[in-house]
Amino acid sequence: MSAKKNININLKIWRQKNASTKGKMETYKLDNVSTDSSFLEMLDQLNEQLINNQQEPVAFDHDCREGICGMCSLYINGRAHGPDTGTTTCQLHMRKFKDGETIFIEPWRSKAFPVVKDLMVDRSAFDRIQQAGGFVSVNTSGRTIDANATPIRKEDADKAFMAAACIGCGACVATCKNGSAMLFVGAKVSQYALLPQGKVEATERVLNMVRQMDEEGFGNCTNTGACEVECPKGISLENIARMNREYLKASVL
């Protein structure tokens, strides 16, 4: 275990009152941050300091703080969810930073994710993509066939799971130089494309989800692969390829 110690840091944080005002970077100094703190606990500490100094605390999204809800975001020192790979901001710890370091904290930047306040953005575009086709059209009667009636190859089930592990945080969009959402959409399309339950509506699904994605103003994928590297859940680029395949099938056949 790393030795317990405290560090002093400088923070450059994007402050923006609401969606319709312009924002700017502000500088803060924060002392005595435990290296065992998570990044968000460090921001809690900053907010406590700001409140005590009669200043307005920094608004940022967070909820589960165990890397699964996808609520936390933050572009830290030029990278989505900070310098660690495979990590959400809430699981990033201050031991990754040095004493005296200056840390840049910005919101996700994307036309489709407008800033709501400070570091919070509106990611409802993802919800709308999901609503366009990210489901199996089955009613909740509980009178479907027995769960084991259709065996599914373990390999397919595992791949579907790995695609479904997406937490919808938007790091892929934030990190992509084109602001493309294809990793998110590809993962959802893939999950269903790999399972027999999802195959029935595969054509409509991929066409509708891609149409919605385009309408939301996301950029186009140029296969830089940055999304895969920064995805906290390690969603593979294979999922984008699979979506491309599914789209081709759906369009041509």
Using CB under 8 A as the binding rule, the residues of this chain from 162 to 221 that contact another protein are: 164-165, 167-168, 175, 177-180, 182, 191-192, 195, 197-198, 203, 207, 210-211, 213-214, 217-221
Q: Which is nearer to another protein, 52 or 100 (CB)?
A: 52
- In which residue are the tokens 């509506």 written? 201
Asked if residue 194 lies in contact with residue 202, where contact means CB atoms within 8 angstroms, the answer is no
Among positions 60-119, residues that touch another protein (CB under 8 A) are: 61-71, 75, 77-79, 83-84, 86-87, 90-91, 93, 95, 104, 106, 109-112, 116-117
Report the alpha-carbon distance of residue 202 to residue 207 in Å, rounded. Answer: 9
Minimum Å distance from CB 208 to another protein?
A: 9
Q: Which is nearer to another protein, 100 or 136 (CB)?
A: 136
- In which residue are the tokens 């595969």 written? 202
Among positions 6-65, residues that touch another protein (CB under 8 A) are: 12, 14, 17-18, 25, 34, 36-38, 40-41, 44-45, 47-48, 51-52, 54-57, 59, 61-65
Q: Which is nearer to another protein, 100 or 110 (CB)?
A: 110
Asked if residue 167 lies in contact with residue 233, where contact means CB atoms within 8 angstroms, the answer is yes
Contacts of 207 (CB under 8 A, 6+ apart): 133, 247, 250, 251
Minimum Å distance from CB 121 to another protein?
A: 8
Q: Which is nearer to another protein, 100 or 143 (CB)?
A: 143
Q: Which is nearer to another protein, 100 or 142 (CB)?
A: 142
In this structure, the number of other CB atoms found within 10 A of the CB of residue 48 comes to: 11
169 residue type, one letter? C
Q: Which is nearer to another protein, 45 or 100 (CB)?
A: 45
With vertex at residue 130, the alpha carbon angle to CA 159 and CA 73, rounded to the nearest 5 degrees, is 80
DSSP state of 220: -
DSSP state of 30: E
Residue 241 touches another protein, criterion: CB under 8 A: yes
Contacts of 233 (CB under 8 A, 6+ apart): 86, 165, 166, 167
Q: β-strands 115-117, 79-80: how paired? A: unpaired
Among positions 123-142, residues that touch another protein (CB under 8 A) are: 123-124, 126-127, 130-142
Binding residues for another protein, rule CB under 8 A, total 136
Report the alpha-carbon distance of residue 195 to residue 197 in Å, rounded. Answer: 5
Minimum Å distance from CB 34 to another protein?
A: 5
Minimum Å distance from CB 238 to another protein?
A: 5
Minimum Å distance from CB 184 to another protein?
A: 12
With vertex at residue 64, the alpha carbon angle to CA 63 and CA 67, rounded to the nearest 5 degrees, is 115
Minimum Å distance from CB 28 to another protein?
A: 15
Minimum Å distance from CB 62 to another protein?
A: 6
